A and B are shown apart, each in its own frame.
Chain A
Amino acid sequence: MSLTFAILTALLAIGLLALIFGLVLGFAAVKFKVESDPLVEQIDQILPQTQCGQCGYPGCKPYAQAIADGDEINKCPPGGDATIKKLADLMGVEAKSLDAAHGQEDIKKVAYIREDECIGCTKCIQACPVDAILGAAKQMHTVIVDECTGCDLCVDPCPVDCIDMIPLANNASSWRWNIDSIPIKQIG
């Protein structure tokens, strides 16, 4: 009798505890819900945001999601080796060389519309992932150079092939030191 009672009490106590903790955990899960996968955000921070789609995904965020889900980290030509290195550090995997199937690392370019040839079809405006092309139907279009990511997506839709990708001009502020220092020799 007493043994049965003891077992019953123990079961009840454990069950009650389980219920309480379950409720607490359930409440916490709702109350402190993490909005999105922070890993995806971190990867997205590393990716160059050209939104070019060379990785095979429709933008940097989808590729970040894919990497978080286990895709390869070497599919981003605009990011190049620097991005791969960072991604490798973040994901704790070995850094690989860039997958040539997705293109090669290139110098930075921006789109340039030969404005006298533009027919104002707005096709490039629709293609631009960052709204860096300005224009209206049957009006000349132009690229906002500061906003252009050089993703190349506007070149193909152009029916008159008036978009060029031109390398960004090197200026003094973006110039990387490349001279030898001038050491002084102590004489006398």
Chain B
Amino acid sequence: MQNNFDDIIDKLDKGELWDFPGGVFPAERKTLSNQTPIAKLPIPERLYVTVKQHIGVEGHLIVEVGQKVLKGQALTKSMNPFAVPVHASTSGEITAIHKHVSAHPSGLPELTVQITSDQDDKWTQLSPMVDYQNQPKTKVLAAICDAGISGMGGAGFPTHIKSSPKKDVDFLIINGIECEPYITSDDRLMREHSWQIRQGIDVLCHLLKPKHVLIGIENNKPEAIEAMQVACRENPNYRVCTIPTKYPAGGEKQLIQVLTNREVPAQGLPVDVGVIMHNVGTCFAIADAIFAGKPLISRVVTVTGEAVEKPSNVWALIGSPIAHLLTHCEYKQTLQKQSNIIMGGPMMGFNVSSDLVPVVKTTNCILAPTDNEMASNNEQACIRCSACADACPASLLPQQLFWHAKAKELDKAQDYNLFDCIECGACAYVCPSEIPLVHYYRIAKAEIRVEQEDKQKSDKARDRFEKREARLIAEQQARDEKHRLAAEARKQAMASNGNNSKDKIAAALARAKAKKQALSEVDDKAIEATELAPANTSEQTAKAEVAEPATKVASSNQRVQAAIARAKAKKAAAEVTDINTELKDKDDASNLKDEQLKQPQQHIDVKKQPNKVSMSTKTVVTDSIPKAVETPPTEKPTITDSKQAKIAAAVAKAKAKREAQKAANSQVAAEPVSAAKVDNIKTVSADELVKTEEQQIDMKKRRIAAAVAKAKAKKAAEKADKSS
């Protein structure tokens, strides 16, 4: 149940406060450093400005290596509302933009702008906004954002976002508690700059319009309380509240509880209970940004610890390496067994990995303790004393959390509200077994965060995988559909153009038929020829039949006879050509003869090769073929005739070739058979020649007859083969 505003004011008027559960009372040790005013440091030679110094996203770099920058010049810029720019802390040259060890417990290198100072410390053009009350809120917020202001208490939340809530604000609480031991930076700031802090509060009031402003300061800082009371005297709405010293009263949720008895819900924000809280350092920076136009480039840092000779507060430029601060405060490493520098307080701070770690916007303390200041790390088993539960300001059960965090039972740890742990370290402080409890919680928290990130990533991956699958299936379907449609279209086209295709088929069939017919015509002609000259063929066969027994009787006689016949045939051919040339047109005939003679000659040459096997048959064949071919010149030299003659010649050649092959085969089988065959052919060709003499009129027919005769001769040869 949320407390009523009026009840709260009533109670505050009475000077009463609430309390938060738990809490511890560590040694304060603040007097080490709060005795001297905030010192100004010389400008360090090199500054390392980390690009990301707040919660959110970093901006884009707008400078490059080698560029000269002026003090207060912005180094990054972004349109993202969660991005806060960083600025050059002094004038100089950018010598590098690289990864540099960061002010983070991990010490992992992060993108950093390295500025080499020119020691001039020359400011860039500043644009103060003195009449902020007449300016629209968005402009004031933009000015705060552009000044790079993020929460300076610890978390580094962007101030301009915190200052533009969507809900009504009852209380603006200014946190000047500074509850951690050793740290005195806010104390000194309030003592020395209370007026400027009040100016910053004025700006925030203009933006937030809170009903009441509470400035919480622990009662161990009386000077600061006094200074703030003086500064806020004029405004009755500003109330400086003195808070009893108890660690961690400075925790946001704890301070809200102390001042208003309102509890910030788990996973909630203070604004959910009508409260906005800002650190005093942030108020100072806001005043600087609005009234002087200066961006956040320096802050108060407490350099303390017993290993430091002159512990004090210093104005440190953002980006100064802590070594620079430690040198100024005379850090003596010899007082430590091993180098041990802590950034932040002893309760919540972390060891830095290098003395080149830069000061960032949230750095409030550099602690260099001697060995006897720090407890030894001697972890023992948990004895279940529950002292931690009593000390926990968030009313958690640290021993249960420890148990589950150690066993990696992250679900159960979350059941015990691990994420409500503010990591104040009170439990570890009271633990008699010296268990570094917060350490375990941090590891568990980090693991849970990583797990959640993985979960998000895997959900995204699943989503993408499923979408891809769906897409692939859809594409496949689309392809199949396309193919189906195309096939259908083809079928349809075929059906509609069926006549055409049928016609085509019919045409093709007709063509084939015509071809066949032509072939058969040729055959018919050949038959006709054989019919026309039955006497010749019968004579031939008769002669062949006569010759056959003769060959069997005496092969030598045959050879002589063949030679005579050949000579005769040659003579006859010569005679024929003579007569023809006399009768016909000389030119035409001779031309054609030349052509036709050349061709057969070539073909004969070609044929010679397969015939190499048997010389005798070859000679016979070559004899007979020229004879058959030589006859054409006597025919009428028409183009068609010549063509047909060529065809005939080709056919004859083919036949002769086949014959020659057969002859070769037969010769390999038996010599006498081939001789007989040779005679056969010879006689046939001789007869043929005689025939040509007789039938000079119809050359075509005679040529066909010659072919037929050849075929017959072949047959005869076959017969001879068989008979042999």
Distance between Cα atoms of A149 and B372 in the complex (Å):
49
Nearest CB on A from B676, distance (A): 72
Residue of B nearest to A48 (CB): B458
Residue of B nearest to A128 (CB): B468
Distance between Cα atoms of A120 and B110 in the complex (Å):
34
The winner among A171, A181, A187 for most chain B CB atoms within 10 A is A181
Contact A181 B439, CB 8 Å, known A51-B465, A129-B465, A130-B461: yes
Nearest CB on B from A145, distance (A): 11
Distance between Cα atoms of A188 and B181 in the complex (Å):
14
Q: Interface 1/0s, chain A 146-186, versus B by CB < 8 A?
A: 01010000000000000000000011101111111111111
* Contacts A174-B453, A176-B446 supplied; 13 other A-B pairs, CB < 8 Å: A49-B465, A61-B465, A130-B465, A147-B461, A172-B106, A176-B450, A177-B439, A177-B445, A179-B351, A181-B438, A183-B429, A184-B27, A184-B374
Contacting A182 at CB < 8 Å: which of B26, B346, B451? B346
Interface contact B464-A147, CB-CB below 8 Å: yes
Q: Interface 1/0s, chain B 163-204, versus A by CB < 8 A?
A: 000000000000000000100000000000000000000000
For A59, the chain B residues whose CB sits under 8 A away are: 465, 469
Interface membership of B66, Cβ < 8 A = no
For A82, the chain B residues whose CB sits under 8 A away are: 451
The interface size of chain A toward B, counting residues with CB under 8 Å, comes to 34
Interface contact A183-B374, CB-CB below 8 Å: yes
Nearest CB on A from B289, distance (A): 27
Q: Could you pull out 30 A-B pairs where Cβ atoms are within 8 angstroms?
A: A49-B461, A59-B469, A129-B465, A130-B461, A170-B106, A172-B102, A172-B104, A174-B450, A175-B106, A175-B446, A176-B446, A176-B447, A176-B450, A177-B443, A178-B443, A179-B105, A179-B351, A179-B439, A181-B425, A181-B428, A182-B346, A182-B349, A182-B350, A182-B351, A183-B429, A184-B346, A184-B374, A185-B372, A187-B27, A187-B373
Distance between Cα atoms of A171 and B443 in the complex (Å):
15
For A87, the chain B residues whose CB sits under 8 A away are: none
Chain B positions near chain A (C-beta within 8 angstroms):
26-27, 102, 104-106, 108, 110, 181, 342, 346-347, 349-351, 372-377, 425, 428-429, 434, 436-439, 442-443, 445-447, 450-451, 453-454, 457-462, 464-469
Residue of B nearest to A186 (CB): B27
For B445, the chain A residues whose CB sits under 8 A away are: 177
Contact A182 B374, CB 8 Å, known A48-B454, A49-B458, A172-B104: yes
Q: Interface 1/0s, chain A 33-48, versus B by CB < 8 A?
A: 0000000000010011
Chain A positions near chain B (C-beta within 8 angstroms):
44, 47-51, 59-61, 82, 129-132, 147, 149, 170-172, 174-188
For A44, the chain B residues whose CB sits under 8 A away are: 462
Residue of A nearest to B347 (CB): A184
Nearest CB on A from B29, distance (A): 9
Contact A185 B446, CB 8 Å, known A49-B459, A172-B104: no
Nearest CB on A from B686, distance (A): 76
For A180, the chain B residues whose CB sits under 8 A away are: 377, 436, 439
Nearest CB on B from A122, distance (A): 14
Distance between Cα atoms of A126 and B282 in the complex (Å):
53
Interface contact A188-B27, CB-CB below 8 Å: yes
Contact A187 B372, CB 8 Å, known A51-B465, A171-B108, A180-B439: yes
Contact A131 B468, CB 8 Å, known A174-B453, A182-B346, A185-B373: yes
For A48, the chain B residues whose CB sits under 8 A away are: 454, 458
Nearest CB on B from A130, distance (A): 4
Contact A129 B468, CB 8 Å, known A181-B425, A184-B375: yes
Interface contact B429-A175, CB-CB below 8 Å: no
For B102, the chain A residues whose CB sits under 8 A away are: 172
Nearest CB on B from A93, distance (A): 18
3 nearest interchain CB pairs? Answer: A49-B458, A177-B442, A181-B436
For A51, the chain B residues whose CB sits under 8 A away are: 461, 465
Residue of A nearest to B52 (CB): A172
Nearest CB on B from A151, distance (A): 9
For B437, the chain A residues whose CB sits under 8 A away are: 181
Distance between Cα atoms of A187 and B182 in the complex (Å):
13
Distance between Cα atoms of A129 and B434 in the complex (Å):
50
For A130, the chain B residues whose CB sits under 8 A away are: 461, 464-465, 468
For B465, the chain A residues whose CB sits under 8 A away are: 49, 51, 59-61, 129-130
Nearest CB on A from B472, distance (A): 10
Distance between Cα atoms of A29 and B451 in the complex (Å):
39
Distance between Cα atoms of A174 and B351 in the complex (Å):
19
Contact A175 B443, CB 8 Å, known A59-B465, A183-B429: no
Distance between Cα atoms of A185 and B469 in the complex (Å):
61
Nearest CB on A from B102, distance (A): 6
Interface contact B373-A50, CB-CB below 8 Å: no
Distance between Cα atoms of A187 and B369 in the complex (Å):
12
